[in-house]
Structure 1
Amino acid sequence: MVVIRSNRETLEEYFGLDWKENIYEFSRIIGFSFEPQVEDDIKIELNPDRPDLYSIASLFNCFQIYKTGKMRNGKIFLKKENISVHAARTRPYFVVFMTDGLKDDNSHNILNQDFLEYSDRVSESVGKSRSKFAIGAHDLSAIRGKIVYGPVDANEVITTYDGMKGKISELLTEHEKGIKYQLLQNNKEVVGVSDESGIISVPPFFNSYRTRVTSRTERMLVDITATSQQGLDLGFRLMAGYFLSKGINISLPERYSSYENNLSLNKIKISSEIIKNIVGIKVNEDTMLRTLAKMGIKYNERYCSIPIGRVDIMGEVDIIEDFIKGYGIENIHEGVLENNFIGKENRINHASNVLRELMVGLGFQEVKNFVLSDSIDLDQFFQINNPKSSDFSRIRQDLLSSLIRAVERNRAQPFPQTLFEVGDCIRDNGTQETSLGCIMSGKSVSYDTIKGVLDALLRALNVRLSEIRPTKNDHFINGRSGNIIFSENNSLSNFLGEVHPFLLEKFNIPFPTVYLELSLGSILTNSN
């Protein structure tokens, strides 16, 4: 949960004299916690899925849209470049934009302080304490000439936004922001945003005093730095969305025209038929338009235009959820599901449970492994783009990699070892398949040993074996391995054999090892 702290005067200024009732009513619709007991320290706890609401002004803006159905949409304009971006290892991704006038047309309140608090709150939560992305805000009237981003000299002297002066290297160890975010410091490189008069920002730590945002600031320059393109896009959408949702235009350098193009494609298809099928109510086009408008979503000819700051909306289901909130959950009546079927166990799950019982009866011990791993010792892995962790950066294509790792980890245990796993893999053609894999390692195991296990399984499952077709596989001994062929639905993942000595040496396994893998899809097709 993200907590916004405020007081009675501020909330009354935005939401009126009935601020308690208004906020409480809205909290039940959107879904957040509101505690007004102590009026000089009022807490509003928001769910992590709505970072576009992480400020009082943004919350009030959403409340106004809900009440009136009227949206204020700022526009994005492109301007000729006056910016230079140099390679930066520490935070290689950078974007900057400028705003028009910042006065709120309705309440005539300056949004500066609210935006500063919003950007800090978002950087701490969604930005993962500024490690994912960080925001810099500047008074545009104080900017001189060309903007430059890239590595800067750590010995340069600057004055921070709060008046502390010194070399950058000293400020990184003495300033409160430098101390707070010391884990983000890179001793080999310091990056900065500069204009022709000097450094205006040292992300992700502090901005300069010269360009600080004050109550008199009318136009801002906002810079966003990130450690990934995904983080940069997320930061831009939230920061730009803050202004655009309040009817404030922003300007982008032409080099970032892709952002403007991407916004025009951010549409999701929805229709009254889909609403009827999911929610169970009949609505016409006019009701769709008015209801979604209350939630800040434009609807036109079965397509919804998604506001740039609504990073929580990813598909049709999210649109339907907002429709229900706008329509009123109390207006949707309970009904009885109309069906003419009786639920039963999934065939794959049933086959998995049967195979587990058979394998345990044959003396094998079950193990469970992750479908994702960091293993690069075998070729049977797909690389994952932009993984959350290097520990889970590859996806397995068969169960051999997981089971041979399990034997390696248990070398200190007595041999022979007999292990099995029922799990999912992604095959070469990109399809997901559930398979049974079993491995045996010991002094006396051989091809005949694992062939005996196969025969016992097929007899119990009443599956007829057509042939074992010899095949060449670098992980198995040539001539002592092959593909298992049934009468129907044969998969390349049906195979068995003796593991090659070079693989045993790589995994430090001291005894001969044999392996068997069967596709559950093949078993189900051929079993009675």
Structure 2
Amino acid sequence: MPTVNVKKYDLERLVNMPLDDKFIEDKFPMMGVEVEEIREEEGEKLISFSVNPNRPDYLSVEGLARGFRGFIGIDPGMSKYDVEKSDVKLYVENVKTRPYIAMALIKGIVIDNYVLESIINLQEKLHWVIGRDRKKVAIGIHDFDKVKPPFYYKEVDNISFVPLGYNEEMSAEEILEKHEKGIKYRHLIKGKYPIILDSEGNVLSFPPIINSELTRVTERTRNLLIDVTGTDKVAVEKTLNILVTALAERKYSKIHSVEVIGKEREIYPKLKEETIVVNPDYINKILGTKLQPGIMINYLRRAKLDAVFSENKLIVYIPPYRVDIFSEVDIAEEIAIAYGYDKFKGVYPEIATIGELDKLEKRCDFIREIMIGLGFYEVINLILTNEKVLFEKMKLKGDYIEVLKPASIEHRILRTSILPLIMETLKINEHKELPIKIFEIGDCVILDGNRVREIKKIAGAIMSNETNYSEIKSHVEALLRELRIDYEIDRYDHPSFIKGRCAKIIKDKRVIGYFGEIDPEVLTNFDLEFPVSAFELLIE
């Protein structure tokens, strides 16, 4: 989970009260934020908080202080933010690589070391948690007084400016080849270069790579211009909301709008709250409580939400910086947190039963015994992976389920197959003595029409100098024989296997698996130096 380092003095001035270390350690975990440590550093106390990725509004000291004020009851209810109209405009041309942009102004902010550090840290945390390392969303924060509106967002063939942290001009092409950020993120640029300019042709930003040194934010900055670009409109808008509302928590800060003119005219930021209608009986059923609607509203206000009770329903108002509330279940969770998890007591079931393993799990245990008897070692991988491993390296294409808010870009989709992860495990263990014989039994998630279905599969592989089609076939047939499955074997052309050295397993006229020798191109994709034979089978 992301770690947010906060200066205790800054947290106290935002909460507007002194905070004892023990009080911090006791209370913050109750609102879902773990305190990793409180330590002395350079003459002042530093607190490290571990924040769940589903709460990006907690990725700054401002957001943490806002939530804490509500949780302890000194500032309950939804925070309201006024947006003052400005005459600043942004004109958007046809930007294909990153088509969406939102922009806003923060005027009157007083920036010191604490504020400057918080801005930089929040920007980087949002790049990771929402932006998927800038692929989905990238943020630019500028000194507004150093540029002149209106602004222009366009794609160009090339342009030169002084990038942030440098003192000499570089072309966009040179930045991608020589600048640290350019080298790291140049894979996100395809074709022309997206650029944000002011009315005099000054470059503000080269998203998602680097800002201009011209608009560097310092302690002398009083007015901030914030741009958020990306490939997902909702993510862009929500990221801007989190940024401007966090900065508006600072003394004297005022949010000002920017008109973005492209295919449509839109005014940013969009700080309109959303609503969810909840049945109080549902909340009580989920939580096992007997709370009255009025009490629920009080707990929701401690969660920095607002609600009214009308016609036997709770109408809950969600602030614009919350991106994690979608349904009644989420509202129940907010009430549970404010109510206090320590107050929930376990309830014994009224009917005594004796538990036993599910039939499918018993079958899986039996298969494990067979595979171990055949000389294989069991491995366990995560059900989460990425498109490169699951499809690209295996020379495959297919549909998959994507995780909405992944903790890592390497683990962002649910696997549909186990074999690619077995190949990765072989790579990790290639220094071991040959032959290597491994298998895994686990869950896969597939799309079955309009339905998402979870299935059990087994995959196994042998890596050695002498492994071949006949060897893996003998192991697969031994497994099928022990499982007493009536099956047929027929020739099969699978992209991941050598043509003519692969077969499919058929039961009741349905393909339930396949085996064979892995294609040399797939071996190269996984950086494997030895032949591999493998199989994958559906467990019914």
Q: 1:354 to 1:197 in 2, by over 3 A?
A: same
Residue 2 (str. 1) matches residue 7 (str. 2): no
Equivalent-residue separation in structure 2 for 1:348 and 1:17 (angstroms): 57
Q: 1:78 to 1:23 in 2, by over 3 A?
A: farther
- Residue 237 (structure 1) shift: 3.5
1:95 deviates by: 2.1
Most deviating of 40-49 and 122-131: 122-131
Q: 1:524 — aligned with what?
A: none
Contact residue 78 and residue 253 of structure 1 kept, 8 A: no
Distance in 2, Cα, partners of 1:12 & 1:399: 50
SS in 2 for 1:137: strand
- How far does the alpha carbon of each residue in 1:2-26 deviate from its partner, in whole angstroms, 9 at most, with x for none? 112254xx66755556555997486
How far is 1:310 from its partner?
2.7
The equivalent residue for 1:106 is: none
Assess, with a 3 A threshold, how the Cα gap between structure 1 residues 249 and 306 changes in structure 2: closer, same or farther: farther
Given that 1:3 and 1:45 are in contact with CA atoms closer than 8 Å, whether structure 2 keeps it comes out as yes
Calculate the aligned-residue CA RMSD, in Å. 5.5
Q: Aligned partners of 1:449, 1:72: CA distance in 2, in Å? A: 64
Which of 213, 226, 240 aligns to 1:236? It is: 240
Q: State the secondary structure of the residue aligned to 2:121.
A: helix
The aligned residue for residue 483 of structure 1 is: 506
1:221 aligns with 225
Change (3 A) 1:456 1:385: closer
Aligned pairs for 1:365-444 within 5 A:
365-368=376-379, 372=385, 373-376=389-392, 377=394, 379=396, 381-382=398-399, 397=416, 421-427=440-446, 429=448, 430-436=452-458
Deviations 1:105-137 (A, max 9, x none): xxxxx4555764433111233324995233313
**CA offset digits 1:68-127 (Å, max 9, x no partner):** 4243323678999641245476xx36523234765xxxxxxx455576443311123332
The 3-state SS of whatever aligns with 1:126 is: helix
What is the percent sequence identity of the aligned residues?
Answer: 14
Q: Which residue of 2 aligns with 1:494?
A: 512
Amino acid at match of 1:134: I
For 1:193, the equivalent position in structure 2 comes to 196
User: What residue is the counterpart of 2:141 in the other structure?
Assistant: 136
The residue type paired with residue 272 of structure 1 is P
Tell me how far 1:347 sits from its aligned partner.
2.9
Q: Using the alignment, how far apart are the partners of 2:126 and 2:453 within structure 1?
A: 33
Q: For 1:358 and 1:22, how far apart are their aligned partners in 2? A: 54
Residue identity opposite 1:433 in structure 2: I
Structure 2: distance between partners of 1:479 and 1:120: 54
Sort the Cα spacing of 1:317 and 1:456 in 2 relative to 1 into closer, same or farther, 3 A: same
Residue 272 (structure 1) aligns with: 280
Partner of 1:324: 336
| Mapped pair 1:288 → 2:314 | no
**Cα distance between partner residues in 2 of 1:12 and 1:369:** 45
Q: CA deviation at 1:354?
A: 1.2
Using a 3 Å threshold, how does the CA distance of structure 1 residues 478 and 297 change in structure 2: closer, same or farther?
Answer: same
Name the residue aligned to 1:343. Answer: 355
Q: Give the aligned partner of residue 73 of structure 1.
A: 80
Residues 73 and 244 of structure 1 are in contact (CA less than 8 Å); yes or no, is this contact kept in structure 2?
Answer: no
Distance 1:379 1:324 in 2: 44
Match of 2:104 among 88, 98, 107: 98
Per-residue deviation at 1:396?
6.0
Question: Aligned partner of 1:5: which letter?
Answer: K
Secondary structure at the counterpart of residue 431 of structure 1: strand
Once the 2 structures are TM-superposed, how far is the Cα of residue 413 of structure 1 from its aligned partner?
A: 8.5
User: Which residue identity is paired with 1:276?
Assistant: N
Contiguous gaps of at least 5 residues in structure 1: 103-109, 522-528
CA separation of 1:480/1:57 partners in 2, compared to 1, >3 Å: closer, same or farther? closer
Kept in 2, the 8 Å contact 1:369–1:402? The answer is: no
Give the aligned length. Answer: 482
Note closer, same or farther for the CA distance 1:75–1:474 as it changes in structure 2 (3 Å cut). Answer: farther
Partners of 2:194 and 2:28 in 1: CA distance: 41
1:119 corresponds to 2:119: yes
Whole-Å Cα distance in 1 between the matches of residues 362 and 141 of structure 2?
56
Q: Which amino acid aligns with 2:140?
A: I
CA distance in 2, matches of 1:226, 1:335: 46
TM-aligned CA deviation for residue 352 of structure 1: 0.5
Distance 1:101 1:64, change over 3 A: farther
Tell me the distance in 1 between the aligned counterparts of 2:469 and 2:344: 68
Q: CA deviation at 1:353?
A: 0.6
Distance 2:502 2:341 in 1: 67
Alpha-carbon distance in 2 for matches of 1:352, 1:304: 45
Relative to structure 2, which stretch is displaced further, 425-434 or 257-266? 257-266
Q: Deviations over 1:482-528 (max 9, x none)?
A: 6223xxxx9x34357x85x9x778779999989683x433xxxxxxx
The residue identity in structure 2 corresponding to 1:457 is L
Q: Please, what TM-score do these two structures have when normalized by structure 2?
A: 0.66
Q: Which residue of 1 aligns with 2:152?
A: 147
State the alpha-carbon separation in 1 of the partners of residues 225 and 532 from structure 2.
67
What's the CA shift for 1:425?
Answer: 3.6
Alignment pair present for 1:308 and 2:320: yes
Q: Secondary structure of 1:310's match? A: coil
Structure 2, unmatched stretches of 5+, are 524-528
From the superposition, tell whether residues 303 and 477 of structure 1 become closer, same or farther in structure 2 (CA, over 3 Å).
farther
Cα pair 2:7 2:44 within 8 Å, conserved: yes
Is the Cα contact below 8 Å between 1:292 and 1:299 reproduced in 2?
yes
User: Which residue of structure 1 lines up, in the alignment, with residue 483 of structure 2?
Assistant: 457
Is 1:202 the counterpart of 2:205? The answer is yes
- 1:191 CA displacement: 5.3
Partner Cα separation in structure 2 for residue 71 and residue 516 of structure 1? 52
Bigger drift between 503-512 and 394-403 goes to 503-512
Worse-matched range after superposition: 117-126 or 234-243: 234-243
| Larger Rg belongs to | 1
**TM-fit CA distance, 1:367:** 4.9
Which of the pair is proportionally richer in strand? 2
Distance in 2, Cα, partners of 1:453 & 1:11:
61
Tell me, what secondary structure is at the counterpart of 2:202?
strand
Give the aligned partner of residue 526 of structure 2. Answer: none
Distance 1:207 1:314, change over 3 A: farther
Distance in 1, matches of 2:162 and 2:40, equals 47
Q: Which moved more, 1:379-388 or 1:52-61?
A: 379-388
Would the aligned equivalents of 1:289 and 1:298 in 2 still touch at CA under 8 Å? yes
CA distance in 1, matches of 2:272, 2:507: 52
Q: Distance in 2 between matches of 1:393 and 1:329?
A: 30
